[in-house]
Structures are given as structure tokens and as C-alpha cells.
Amino acid sequence: MVKLRLISELSGHEDRVWQASWDCTGNRLATCSGDKSARIWAPIASERFFKAQQHSKENISDGSSNESMDVDQTSASTWQCLDIIDNAHKRTVRSIAFEPTSSKAVATASFDGTTAIWEKEDDAYECVATLEGHENEAKCVAWSPSGQLLATCGRDKSVWIWESNGEGDFDCISVLMEHTQDVKMVLWHPINDMLVSFSYDDTMRVWKEDDDDWYSAATLTGHKSTVWGGAFSPDGKYLASVSDDRTIRVWTQSNDDGSRASGADKGFYYKPDANFKCIAVVPDTVHSRAIYSVSWAGAPAGAPATDLGYLATGCGDNSLRVLKVTAAAGEDTGVTVELVCEHKDAHGLSDINCVRWNPVHFGWLATCGDDSTVRIWNLDLSQD
Amino acid sequence: MNITQKINDAPLVYEVVSKARDIQQSDFDDAVSDPVDSEEVYELIRNINDPEHPLTLEQLHVTNKEHVFVDDSANRVLIEFTPTIPHCSMAALIGLCIRVRLLRSLPERFKVDIKVREGTHQSEEHVNKQLNDKERVAAALENTYLLDVINQCLATAV
């Protein structure tokens, strides 16, 4: 039986925590909150913390009881808050992302419409650039895998692409206005320079570039309500999306040439050359309220080739869930997604806003909730 | 608010039928837990003021006791409200006032859904979607001007 054990609880934020981002080493975590600040956290002794995968067996919890969680006795002191960034944004900080190659820089996007880039000078984080342009709340910021491009999106229905000019500052290279409503999240493909945006208009859009011109390469329809976010599998072959309609959809790029030109796809920057098809849907009976976040962890070392990893979801019904993705036997692109662990009241009686698997240390998960805390979990796959 | 032309100049005003809750012996017993019920939630919202007229939502039949659904054990509340006219542009604001009122008065454990009563508004899906999108609500409540308007409507809801 797969279990999720609560290992640490990070308190400090004074309002709901919206998002978390692991750095490139997997040893630091950045979080942002409605209290207008961002915080950087790390375990006091990273090597020991992440290697101790088997915490004492007495601390087993199957996740179904509300009251005590198996918090390791000493865990209250094993994480510390390294930095607090609280002097730039005048409103909620909605999104935060560590630069993926060296994690020297961290970006924050705020309801005040701006995106700020921070770097640590001496002892504190300094704001090295402020990116303005969104007409109202900015909702997400994401770095491309090379660290050269940044994407932001917001309630003004637009997706902005920025390029690093080498001196710590960013130039806006594209403003994409194809969504018909609020854009909730932007996500880069882990390998190629391809961007996906998720929107209140119930669709997702895939963006590619052709000679520095960014265009909409596909519109993914299927969700019946706001698409809150998504995650690529670490090899970039699959995309999972989650929505207010309480379902998870898994997509992959298909090779068939049938292009779908429907009215919804027309747009100024639209060239339908990317074909995505939905290959699996987790029905709305699994999650009982809107799903706000999903993260995809690759399979652990030594797993069979059909093991495509684990999805973690954060939901408005207070539960944290883990689903196993397996390649369907005999089919080229089919997958099955199966619920393997459900941890109720993961953040007490509060919504879970964000879930993020550690990109380096397998099985470690960070979650953020409306209860103003950040929690660190460990996935226990051992069968006992 | 600079409204020179009211959205609904002459709304229908209804009489308020006030029925006091019967006091029971168990009300005085601390050991008996009183679940939150629809009456209690209705008490919280009935006296919210309409943004345009010096009248409560109850007097305008915008909120009705029959359209408040509470499940205490499942921590769910559903409020259906009825705008006075189908093209009322205040519908989202009224819904937001109800949401803020409950956010400030109900225990945090409750998940609250607020919807326009089906068939009573021409943009009901549009309004419902906004009212139940927690990110949109959170951003709206950071707008001090909007918060002032909401607080004015809630001033009567004591």
C-alpha cells in the first residue's frame, strides 16, 4: 500500500500559501503567499534529511485519521526559513519560481500586476528587475528549461514571453492574446521551448516559436470548466491538466494528420501544427471539489518501462492524492491512471493550493494550503 | 458609487415575516453541540443591504430562507440568491457581499458555494463562475474601493 507520510510542517506565512517551487538542487523551497511575501526554506541538514527516507516504522500513518499525523519528533526543527522577501509587492504574491539551471535567481508574480526577479546579494535577496505590463493581476510566472526565457500570464487574458538580455534584465518579446478569459497558469515543456497556458475559458493553449515569432500551435479543449494548471511528465511526452470540473486529463502529442480547425481555434497567431490528443480522463468522482494543482514525478530508478511515474493533486476538498500512471499494454500511447493514495485533511480543513514533487530527491513532496502552512511529505512505496 | 441611473428603479418590496426560533432546553446545555443550520446562516445574510436601495436582501426577496442549504457534518453551505431583475448588473456584487459576510462569520471549515437561482438571470453561469473562483474572489477583495462598497452593504447585517 502506498502511503504519504507527513514529515515537516513549515509555518511562518500569515495568509494562505499559494505556490511553492523547488530549486535545481532540490534542497531549497521557495513559497509565496497572500501575506505579500515570499519565503525561502531549507532543511537544516539537507543531505541527512532527504536520505532518511525510512523514518522510524512506529510513525506509520495510513492517512485516514484526522488527528495526529506522524510528524517526526525532531522535525519541527529540521527545516528553517532562510529568507523572507517582503518588500516588493503591494498585493498577494501569487506565483514563485526558482531559475532552473543555477537557481541563483527567483521570480515572483503578484496580483499587483508585476513580476519581480530576485538575486541574493550578501545576506538578503535584492530585486534586480521588475517586469511590468499586465493590466491587472499577474497569476503565474515560469522559467524555460534553459533559464533564458520567462513566461507570465494574468487576468488580462494574455501570456507574455520575456527574454533575458544577459544583464539580469528581461525584454518582452511577445504578448499573446488568444485566450478569451483569465489565464491561470503557464508551464514550459521540460526539454523543448514550448509553452502551455491554462485558462478560465476552459481551454489550454500550446505556444511555439518560429524564428522568434511566438504563435498558438494548438488549443486543447475538453475540460468543462476553468483549467487551473498542469504538469508535464519529466520526459515531456505527456501532459496532465486539472480543472474546476474535478477531472484530470492526460494528453500526448499524436502523429495523425487530422487537423482540428474549429471556430474556437481561430486566432491571429494560430498555426495548427501541434496535435495533442486526450488519452486518459480521471473522472469527477475521485475529487469532490475543484482540483487546483498537479505535479508529475518520474518513476523511481529500477522501475519497469511501463511505469510512467506518479501524479500528486491538491484539491479544494482538503485531500492530497497520489495517482500512478502506467503505460497501457499493447497500445502506443494509451495510459491508465489509478488512485493509489488519498490523504484526507492534508492541511487540516483547508484547500490545498499547490503540490510540487522534488525534482531531484524522489518521493518528496511539498504542498501549500489555505491554512498558511507548507508541508513536506514522503512517498512510501514499500509494501508492508 | 456614481450611479445616476439605478439598475432597478422600482423594485418590489416584500414584508418581512420574522419568526423567532423556539428556545429549547438543550440550548442551555453546553454538552450538546448545535450544528450550524440554514436558519443560522440565513440570519447572517438576510439583513445585508442592497447596493442600490436602502432595503435588505430579505425585503427584496433576493435571499430566501428556503434557498439556503447547509450540511454541517460535510462542512458545506450552498446559497442561491435571486436578483430582482434578469439583467441586474449588481448580481456579482450582491453575491460577493454574501460571500464576504459568510467568510467573516462562519467557521473556516465551511466550503461555501454561492449561485444565482436557476433561471433568474440572463448571465447566471457567468456570474456563478466568478463567484465560485476563489482566486478571482481573493483578488477582488484586495481592491479597497470594492471592499468599501461591500462594507457599506454589510453595515446593516449585524
Return per-residue pLDDT of chain A as tens, 384 residues. Answer: 799 999 999 999 999 999 999 999 999 999 999 999 999 999 988 778 887 654 443 344 444 443 344 444 454 448 999 999 998 899 999 999 999 999 999 999 999 999 999 999 888 999 999 999 999 999 999 999 999 999 999 999 999 999 999 887 899 999 999 999 999 999 999 999 999 999 999 999 999 999 889 999 999 999 999 999 999 999 999 999 999 999 999 999 886 544 433 334 444 455 667 789 999 999 999 999 999 999 999 999 999 999 999 999 999 999 999 999 999 876 666 899 999 999 999 999 999 999 999 999 999 999 999 999 999 999 999 875
User: Distance, in angstroms, between B139 CA and closest chain A CA?
Assistant: 7
What are the chain B neighbours of A136 within 8 Å (beta carbons)?
139
Contact criterion met (CB < 8 Å) for A225 and B109: no
**B111 → closest Cβ in A111, A139, A289:** A289
Contacts of B109 in chain A (CB under 8 A): 349
Look at residue A88 in the predicted model and tell me its pLDDT. 83
For residue A168, the model assigns a pLDDT of 79
Taken in order of first residue, the domains within chain B and their CATH numbers are: 35-154 (3.30.300.130)
Residues facing residue A164 across a β-bridge: A170
The three cell numbers locating residue A374: 507548507
Q: What order of strands is seen across the sheet that includes strand A352-357?
A: A3-10, A374-380, A364-369, A352-357
Task: Pick the residue from chain A with its C-alpha nearest to B144.
Answer: A91
- Determine how many CB atoms are found less than 10 A away from the CB of residue A324: 18
Determine the distance from the C-alpha atom of residue A58 to the mean position of all C-alpha atoms in its chain, rounded to a whole number: 32
Ordered DSSP codes for A320-355: EEEEEEEEPTT-SS-EEEEEEEEETTBTBSS-EEEE
Q: What is the CA radius of gyration of chain B?
A: 16
Q: Which of B103, B134, B99, B100 is nearest to B115 (CA)?
A: B99
Measured CA to CA, the distance from residue B110 to residue A173 in angstroms comes to 44
- Which residues in chain A touch residue B75, judged by CB atoms under 8 angstroms apart? 349
Q: Mind telling me how many Å the CA of A18 is from chain B's nearest CA?
A: 10
* Residue spans of chain B under pLDDT 50: none
Does B66 contact chain A (CB < 8 Å)? no
CA distance B25 to chain A (A): 31
Cell reading at A158: 494574455
Asked if B133 lies within 8 A of A226 by C-beta distance, the reply is yes
Cross-chain Cβ contact B138/A184 below 8 Å:
no
Q: Compare all CA atoms of chain B with the CA of A243 and give the residue at the minimum distance.
A: B133
Chain B residue numbers with beta carbons less than 8 Å from the beta carbon of A229 are none
Q: Is A119 helix (H, G, I), strand (E, B) or coil?
A: strand
Residues of B in contact with A182 (CB under 8 A): 136
| Closest chain B residue to A111, measured at CA | B139
Task: Give the torsion through C-alpha atoms of B40, B42, B46, B48, to 10 deg.
Answer: 80
Contact between B154 and A103 (Cβ < 8 Å): no
Q: Which residue of A has its CA nearest to B76?
A: A317
Q: Which residue has the cell 479543449?
A: A221
Q: How far is A57 from chain B (nearest CA, A)?
A: 32
Q: What is the reported pLDDT for A35?
A: 97
Q: Which of A378, A370, A355, A377 is nearest to A33 (CA)?
A: A370
Cell of residue A64, nine digits: 485516514
Give the per-residue pLDDT at A49: 86
Q: Which residues of A touch B134 (CB under 8 A)?
A: 316, 351
Task: Please give the DSSP secondary-structure letter assigned to residue B95.
Answer: H
Contact flag B142-A91 (C-beta cutoff 8 Å): yes
Query: What's the number of CA atoms in the CB half-sphere (13 Å) around residue A213?
Result: 9
Which residues from A are below 8 Å from B139, CB to CB? 91-92, 111, 136-137, 155
- Which residues of A sit within 8 Å Cβ distance of B? 16, 34, 91-92, 94, 111, 136-137, 139, 155, 182, 184, 200, 225-226, 244, 289, 316-317, 349-351
pLDDT attached to residue B34: 83
pLDDT of residue A72: 47
Do A111 and B142 count as a contact with CB atoms less than 8 A apart?
yes
Spell out which residues of chain B touch residue A184, defining contact as CB-CB under 8 Å: 135
Which residues on chain A are in Cβ contact (under 8 Å) with B129? 200, 225-226
Pairing of strands A195-199, A183-188: antiparallel
Contact A137, A111 (CB under 8 A): yes
Please give the pLDDT value at position B3: 53
**Closest approach of A117 to chain B, Cα-based (Å):** 22
Minimum-distance CB partner of A349 among B108, B136, B142 = B108
Chain A environment of B138 (Cβ under 8 Å):
16, 34, 92, 111
Q: Report the residue from A16, A244, A316 with minimal CB separation from B111.
A: A316
pLDDT of residue A266: 45
For A72, counting Cβ atoms within 10 Å of its Cβ (0-12 exposed, 13-18 middle, 19+ buried), the class is: middle
- Quote the minimal CA–CA distance from B36 to chain A in Å: 16
Instruction: Say how many CA atoms lie within 13 Å of B150 toward its Cβ.
Output: 24
- Cβ-Cβ contacts under 8 Å between A and B: the total is 34
